[in-house]
Amino acid sequence: MRRAGFTLIEALVAIVLVAVVLPVALAAVTQSLRGAENIRKQDVALRVAQSRLAVLVADGSWQSSGSSGACDPRTDGEDTEGMRWQMTVATWRVQTVRTLTFTVSWGSTTAPRTITLTTLVMPPLTGDV
C-alpha cells in the first residue's frame, strides 16, 4: 500500500537543501544590487562631469571658475547628493593649449570612487592676428 506524502528523511533533505541554497542565492542578489547601485552612481557622475565640462569649454568659464566644489542636487540632479567635483588646468605639450581635467568623486573620503574626463582647450587669442 502506497501512501501519499513525504517521508521524514525526504522532508529533512529538502529543508537542508533550502538552508544551504537560500543564503547563497540571497548573497548573490545582494551583491547584484550593490553592483547596480555602483553603476547607477557612476552613470550619474559621468553625466555631471560631461555636462559641466561642456559648459566650461563652451562659455570659456574654465579660465575663471573655481577649481573644486560640491555638486548641487538642485542643478545637477537629485542623485548627486554627496558628490564633489574638481577641475585642474595644465599646460599641454604646445604652450597655447591647455589640458582641462574634470573629476567627480563620491563615496567615502578614505576610498572615494571617481570619474575623470580630460579635454584640450585653447584660450582665446589676444591681440591682432
pTM across the whole model: 0.72
pLDDT at 118: 95
Measured distance CA(86)–CA(88) in Å, rounded: 7
CB 57 within 8 A of CB 124: no
pLDDT at 59: 86
Give residue-wise pLDDT tens across range 60-107: 888 887 788 999 899 888 888 889 999 999 989 988 899 999 999 998
List the chain domain ranges.
8-121
Grid cell in block for residue 10: 525526504
Give residue-wise pLDDT tens across range 16-51: 999 999 999 999 999 999 999 889 999 999 999 999
pLDDT at 1: 56
DSSP 6-46: --HHHHHHHHHHHHHHHHHHHHHHHHHHHHHHHHHHHHHHH
